[in-house]
Amino acid sequence: MSALSVHQAHGPGQSPLAESLLAMLVVVTVCLLAAGYGRGVQELWSRRGAGHVVPRWRVAAFGAGLLVVLGTEHGPAHEMAESSLAGHMAQHMLLLLVAGPLLAAGAAGLPLSMAVPLPLRRLLARCRVAPPIRRLRHPGTYALLAGGGQTVVLWFWHLPGPYAAAVDRPAVHATEHLCFLVTAWLFWAPVLGSPRHRAPAPVTVLLLAGTMLPASALGAVLTFAPQPIYPRRVFGADPLADQQLAGLLMWAPMDLAVLVVALTVFLGWLLRMDRDRPDGLRGGPPPAGTRPMATTAEAEEVVP
């Protein structure tokens, strides 16, 4: 989704007009998302009261996610991406681990659907309840598709060929960042989105763990490769050190973030199970009026 984060020195034939148009497209898209989300939230709050249906913290999270998207394409992140592979990897991690989760936490599905015209809203509602879409929205199926999509996109765009193409062509680079952002948004939606659309805790933990392992493997490949695997033009002054730092930037932050979220979900699940268990399963005294179960010896005495 980046038109401005292309390494200028790496693509001598790039058109400044194409870069400017892509940059404008990024800004317009972000503004449209912000306007649509704000319109939907305003309508929901006018019906149900401010802070209801979509809490204020979710609105703030969605706005912060859009700001992170813009910040990733401009300023220090953009300048670092122009000079090294590690800087470019930092951009990817911002989209995957910051912007994506924040947008997912915004629970944008309902507000954005409320912002569209009524005929389109009804069409979306009919599509949502169609049997094929309902099967895709099943927590297990959705988790498998979201985790698989994130893994495929991550590995594909870090292969030497696609990565070099993204470095040299603004349109390809914009597609790369768009893929990262969309898959991260979809991946984190069942984890951080609206409670009624979240996957069960066991499914969430498996989703996080199953997606973390391929990402860790990719980070390990970049970190421990004995020589640079990308063209020389994508690196900084020291290609091998730049590649190793890029691998660590992928490996450590992603593993840490996913591990913390997975442990939080797992511990919350255990606490809910403990809170919801019947008193008789906690090892305490049996409820009043109930007869304790007979021991084996007592049972043998009453058998003729």
pLDDT tens digits, 115-156: 888 888 888 888 877 888 888 877 778 888 888 999 999 999
pLDDT, position 237 = 85
Q: Is residue 300 part of a domain?
A: no
| Residue 25: Cβ within 10 Å count | 13
pLDDT of residue 67: 94
Residue 302, domain member (yes or no): no
Enter the tokens of residue 269.
């699940």
pLDDT of residue 77: 78
189 part of a folded domain: yes
C-alpha 104/C-alpha 113 separation (Å) is 15
The alpha carbon of residue 59 and the mean position of all alpha carbons in its chain are separated, in whole angstroms, by 17
Q: What is the distance of C-alpha 57 from the center of its chain?
A: 18
Q: Report pLDDT for 14.
A: 55
Whether 182 has a pLDDT exceeding 90, the answer reads yes
Q: Which of 66, 136, 124 is CA-nearest to residue 98?
A: 66
pLDDT digits (tens, 9 = 90+) for 247-303: 999 989 888 999 999 999 889 888 888 787 755 445 555 555 555 544 444 443 433
- Segment 62-93, tens digit of pLDDT: 999 999 999 888 767 777 877 889 999 999 99
The answer to whether residue 205 is domain-embedded is: yes
Q: Return the pLDDT at 220.
A: 93
292 within a domain of the structure (yes/no): no
Q: With beta carbons less than 8 A apart as the criterion, state whether 223 and 251 touch.
A: yes
Closest Cα to residue 62, out of 36, 28, 88? 36
Mean pLDDT of the region 212-220: 91
φ and ψ of 271, to 5 deg: -65, -40
- Kindly state whether residue 296 falls inside one of the protein's structural domains: no
pLDDT score, position 178: 93
> 222-230: which pairs have CB atoms within 8 A and are 24 or more residues apart?
222/158, 222/246, 222/247, 222/250, 222/251, 223/247, 223/248, 223/251, 229/160, 230/85, 230/160, 230/163, 230/164
- Name the E strands within 102-205: none
- Angle, helix 170-192 to helix 56-73, in steps of 10 degrees: 160
φ and ψ of 302, to 5 deg: -85, -10
303: in domain: no
Tally of domains in the chain: 1
CA distance 195 to 193: 6
What is the Cα 107 distance to its own chain's centre? 12
Reply yes or no on whether the pLDDT at 1 is more than 60.
no
Q: Which domain does 169 fall in, by range?
A: 8-276
Mean pLDDT of the chain: 82
Q: Does the pLDDT of residue 51 top 90, yes or no? A: no
> What pLDDT was estimated at residue 248?
93
Q: How many CB atoms lie within 10 A of CB 169?
A: 17
* pLDDT recorded at residue 285: 53
Q: 60: Cβ–Cβ under 8 A, 6 or more apart, which residues? A: none
Q: Is the pLDDT of residue 8 over 50?
A: no
| pLDDT over 70 percentage in the chain | 85
Higher pLDDT, 134 or 239: 239
Collapsed DSSP state (helix, strand, coil) of residue 75:
helix
The pLDDT assigned to 278 comes to 56
The mean pLDDT value for 13-42 works out to 83
Q: Which of 11-15, 20-24, 77-81, 191-195 has the lowest mean pLDDT?
A: 11-15
Q: Is residue 284 part of a domain?
A: no
Residue owning tokens 């929205």: 137
pLDDT at 47: 86
**What pLDDT does residue 15 have?**
63
Give the pLDDT of residue 230: 92
